[in-house]
Amino acid sequence: MAALLAALNLGGDGKHQTHSSVIQYIGRRALCTTRVQYPRTAPVLYALNQSERTALAQFSNTKTRIYFILQTGYFKAKQQFFNFSLDEASNDVQFIVRTYYSESASMSFTGRISRDYVRIQRQTLLSLFGYRNWTSDFALETQTHIGGLLRYFPKSHSAFRQLLAYFDHQKIIIPSYTFPLFDLLALSGVQLKMLLFLEQTGRG
């Protein structure tokens, strides 16, 4: 927690702490991880505003609601979707149950929800935060942007950071391991490294 406070330049009372700054910090820390559990930052990560609570209300089952709160927190941190079971996020599940469903504290929430509900939840989050899923329609535009980045940022790490910023600005979900540019263009060595890294970090 001290590292988080130091990174945000906060004192112990946290008076200057903002929701967005904590989410951005979490996102940077989580960039290269696939399992997402943030027990120390859970109060911020899983706090729901009114629009998020309204979206949550469409689900009546407690297990499905818990899964949605998890996906919402993860999306706010990484702008990505994850496939996971509740068992893999047990600490987070316990926090959510204590916070929102204390009457169900004696119950055990494990396993997954159906694919249909996963799909509905993902579409809800895309609409809620104004993001778009990657499609092949973005391929040519992204290829052109990568070429421009490599002219101004010859170091692959710098170019990749700029590419992430581009996806974030365009509100496009980072492509997954099926990234279609491999089928559309001959990649330079640096481009290939960048897109392989996208494969590893963008897998949902």
Can you tell me whether residue 82 is helix, strand or coil?
coil
With a cut of 50, say whether residue 60 has pLDDT above it: yes
Q: Is 167 exposed, middle or buried (0-12, 13-18, 19+ CB in 10 A)?
A: buried
Task: Please indicate, yes or no, whether residues 107 and 77 belong to a single structural domain of this protein.
Answer: yes
Q: Are residues 9 and 34 in the same domain?
A: yes
Q: Are residues 56 and 86 in the same domain?
A: yes
Asked if 15 and 91 sit in the same domain, the reply is yes
Q: Are 129 and 72 in contact (CB under 8 A)?
A: no
- Boundary (domain end) residue, out of 100, 127, 154: 127
The predicted model scores a pTM of: 0.66
Q: State the average pLDDT over residues 158-184.
A: 67
Average pLDDT of span 73-100: 91
Question: Containing domain of residue 198, as a range?
Answer: 136-202
Domain end among 127, 158, 181 = 127
Here the tokens at position 35 are: 């399992």
| Domain identity same for 103 and 144 | no
More confident residue, 130 or 16: 130
One-letter amino acid identity for 42?
Answer: A
Q: Are residues 38 and 112 in the same domain?
A: yes
pLDDT of 30 higher than 50: no
Contact 74, 82 (CB under 8 A): yes
Average pLDDT, the chain: 73
Compute the average pLDDT of residues 100-127.
95
155 and 117 share one domain: no
Domain count, the chain: 2
Residue 114 sits in the same domain as residue 78: yes
What's the mean pLDDT in 157-183? 69
Give the gyration radius of the chain's Cα atoms.
19
Instruction: For residues 158 and 67, state if they share a domain.
Output: no
Joined together, the tokens standing for residue 42 give: 């859970």
Do 122 and 141 fall within a single domain? no
Asked if 106 and 154 sit in the same domain, the reply is no
User: Are 176 and 135 contacting, i.e. CB atoms less than 8 angstroms apart?
Assistant: no
The rounded distance, in Å, linking the Cα atoms of 113 and 177 is 23
Among candidate residues 107, 127, 147, the one where a domain is terminated? 127
For residue 40, report the phi and psi dihedrals to the nearest 5 degrees: -80, -25
**Same-domain status, 10 and 93:** yes
Rounded to 5 degrees, φ, ψ at 22 are: -70, -45
